[in-house]
Chain A
Amino acid sequence: MPHDHHDHSHDTDGLSPSGHPYRPDQDHKLTRWQAMEIAMRELLVEKGIVTAAEITETVEQMDRRSPADGAKVVARAWVDPSFKARLLENGTEAIRELGIEPGVLKLIAVENTARTHNVVVCTLCSCYPRNLLGLPPDWYKQRAYRSRVVKTPRKVLAEFGLELPESTQVRVHDSTADMRYLVVPARPEGTEGLDEAALAELVSRDAMIGVATARHP
């Protein structure tokens, strides 16, 4: 699981707290596109369209969002069958119960079981439940994933390490319009004694996209 975000004890040079390399930024030569961002931002602030504080707050909000929010939703669904029913019925309303403000997000939650495996893609761009999971991984936005998962999902899932038996039906969800999708992975066996917080630790971002299962404790 090289792409999960549970180990925050990195002290490796050149890697971020989540263990990924930083993009060139402050210390590299200014690019045309960075100059454009600075110019646009300053013009928008001077014209009173946005305030500097709003920009800072929006960036900070982006940094606060992470798959941990989605994992909380999944863990609650595992321990509370009535919540799970409400989540599957109307995901947008259900996440409010956990204090997660959906904003523009319109959420459909889909449940993985022994017989059904769900996986999410956006073939036309890269729609993703950002308000619940943070920003999408790079591979989610790439041509390879977007092209292939709607035609050969089993092969793609196998490349992610997930071999599904023929008896499991695959359901691919293409986010073509206004809805965003959360996969509720199946609860692993042997987790009866765990509390909600410990259960949430088992739920990775990739499991909520549908390219992985929940971890075993």
Chain B
Amino acid sequence: MMGLPQKVRVKNWHPPGHVRAPMYLRGKTGEIERELGPFGNPEELAYGHEASRRRLLRVRFTMGELWGAEAENPADILEAEIYEHWLDPINAP
């Protein structure tokens, strides 16, 4: 999917059902902090299926990116684990 480090944007998907990409991160841009996994895809495991394996990535967001003017300190950081199929790479110009 991508090399490291790289900017990514979390997909702005809103499907029903069990997913692990939190709403407040969807559509937001961050940097890959480290690569984890692969792990079974929870979107399949939750329904009792044999799950495909997906890379899991820790993504680092700034509070400024997530909350804009409402951020307490825009340079503070939030990190979360996001499966690769929820991430779009943002290529450097």
Contact = CB atoms under 8 A, between A and B. Distances in A.
A93 interface: no
A170 interface: yes
A170 B76 contact: yes
B81 A171 contact: no
Contact of B39 (A124, A153, A166, A178): A178
Contacts of B80: 173-174, 176
A41 interface: no
B81 A175 contact: yes
B31 to A, nearest CB: 13
Interface residues of A, number: 21
Contacts of A155: 72
Interface string B67-81: 100101101111111
Query: Which of A154, A173, A176 has the most CB atoms of chain B within a 10 A radius of its CB?
Result: A176
A176 B20 contact: yes
A154 B81 contact: no
Contacts of B79: 171-174
B78 A150 contact: yes
Nearest to B39: A178
A174 B83 CA distance: 14
Interface in A137-154: 150-154
Given A170-B63, A177-B83, A178-B39, 20 more contacts: A106-B36, A123-B24, A150-B24, A151-B63, A151-B67, A154-B76, A155-B72, A169-B73, A169-B75, A170-B72, A170-B77, A171-B76, A172-B78, A174-B79, A174-B80, A174-B81, A177-B39, A178-B36, A178-B37, A179-B58
